[in-house]
Amino acid sequence: MGKGATLAIEIKQDAREPVFLALSRAIIAEIERGRLKPGDPLPGTRALSKNLTLNRNTVDAAYHELTMQGWLVAEPSRGTFVAGDLPDFGRESALTEPADADGQNVRTHRQKLNISDGLPDARIAPTVPLGRAFRKALTSPPFLKSAYGDPRGCLILRKALSQYLKDERGLTLGADDMLIARGSQMALYLAASAIAEPGSAIAVETPGYPLAWAAFRAAGARVVGVPVDGGGISLKSLERIAEREDRLRAVYVTPHHQYPTAVTLGAGRRLRLLDLARRHRLTIIEDDYDHEYRFAGHPVLPLAARADRSAPVIYVGSLSKILAPGIRVGYAMAPPEVLRRMSDRREAVDRQGDVFLELALSELIADGTLRRHVRKARRVYLARRNHLAALLAKHLSHVSEFVLPAGGLAIWLRLNPGLSAEAWAVNAADLGLSLLPGVHFSLGPARAPEAFRLGFASLDESELAKAVRLIAKSVPGA
């Protein structure tokens, strides 16, 4: 289909929405049914507007919207194309549909829809700039030199990232205070191994992040659960634990968007947490895993931006949540002695990081691509959050409730008394939907919340609508 070709397409417009959004949905539908395949050219805006009897500005706006969302790519002097990194939906449908004439089911596999715990959508990642950055990295002197690099990671990335964190999050630590790791999971393990000896304890939020607990246990530490309420981690409970646990070394928190509930730790609790850490000589491990995604009000500065030597903070973050899960780059900023121990342990198991990837990512930061992508992703994910919230309110308000999160990439859906999240998840799995029930986030089944963490960022609006329909069909006893 060339620039002058036409595209027969049906536009179903809701009376309350602009025409360009209706056209955007129609084009997405054609991609999802496999009629438009990855790499296919779209008609020029003039030809399509004439064919559909629309204003050319309307088509321009629709193409711009789909380009921002990652469905289309615009190539100068060539035209607009379906993004090449999308799956071939038509081929996937062929694999999941019955193929014989008498109606026998001959599916090669059952297609499953997965509601993640809050992953970004790799389909909207800046793949073209990243490809250019990879090509540039291949010929760069740091990549071509024969010697091994610093176990703390590529200095170019550490400089670029520390400046980014200074500008965006108010952190004053520099490149020498940072270690680049293969994902935040490695950073958490290194942090625990640097501050905890075998048999010592680390306090963690519950419900909380099971992979952090696994990292701490692998480092030889015990994990002690601290309850979470509507305001975040309970400091009264943490105080009691600190008083009775003489080997408590640290407390792990996710204060910006508590995992999994998405609650933000308020200013009062933040100050009291820093004071508690000083009094009990605890290190705070702050996991700021999705700081960029704040939709209401201003982002809250990290604890690490307020801390001093009397209340040390190991600050952990990830570029995976900004770009895509496959980008395995995390980082940690820590006091000098702690960072040295982390670096020693990293060198023992992984001499250096992925210099090629680190150089490419430093280029994305330096040329502004990362910041532009964050702005775009924030708009896309805000729309998806609002869409999921509207669907939940419409279809599941009789059996559940939620607080609209001010930020993050997931909604914490609490079930009405008497409903079992595990039983509900089993029913959903039978219908082809994967859900994470509250027991997944609990240190013990006795305290498991009857809730679901519903990640909205990795699913588009049609996928979210399908997911909610399947959730509604899966209500236990319905």
316, 287 Cβ separation under 8 angstroms? yes
Superfamily of domain 114-121+371-473: Aspartate Aminotransferase, domain 1 (3.90.1150.10)
pLDDT of 230-287, one tens digit each?
999 999 999 999 999 999 999 999 999 999 999 999 999 999 999 999 999 999 999 9
Residue 110, pLDDT score: 45
Residue 92, pLDDT score: 44
For Cα atoms 121, 127, 132, give the angle at the middle one, nearest 5 degrees. Answer: 160
First to last CA, the chain: 48
Residues of the chain with CATH 3.90.1150.10: 114-121+371-473
- Percentage of the chain with pLDDT > 90? 62
212, 188 Cβ separation under 8 angstroms? yes
402, 456 Cβ separation under 8 angstroms? no
Amino acid 228 reads: V
pLDDT of 319-328, one tens digit each?
999 999 888 9
Q: How many CB atoms lie within 10 A of CB 134?
A: 15
Fold of 128-369: Aspartate Aminotransferase; domain 2 (3.40.640)
| Burial label, 315 (beta-carbon count in 10 A; 0-12, 13-18, 19+) | buried
106: its two tokens:
């001959």
Question: Does residue 57 register a pLDDT over 80?
Answer: yes
- Average pLDDT, stretch 202-227? 95
Residues of the chain with CATH 1.10.10.10: 19-111
Q: What's the rounded Cα separation, in Å, for the pair 37 and 23? A: 17
Lowest-pLDDT choice from 202-206, 320-324, 399-403: 320-324
Residue 146, pLDDT score: 58
Residue 13, pLDDT score: 67
129, 367 Cβ separation under 8 angstroms? yes
- Structure pTM? 0.76
Q: What's the rounded Cα separation, in Å, for the pair 193 and 345? A: 8
Residues 6 or more apart in contact with residue 113 via CB below 8 angstroms = 432, 433, 434, 459, 463, 466, 467, 470
CA–CA distance from 341 to each of 181, 196, 245, 462 (Å)? Answer: 14, 11, 24, 48
pLDDT of 170-194, one tens digit each?
998 899 999 999 999 999 999 999 9
The structural architecture, per CATH, of the domain 19-111 is Orthogonal Bundle (1.10)
Q: What's the rounded Cα separation, in Å, for the pair 470 and 465? A: 9
More confident residue, 158 or 104: 158
390: its two tokens:
């509207």
Residues of the chain with CATH 3.40.640.10: 128-369
Phi/psi at 294 (5° precision): -115, 120
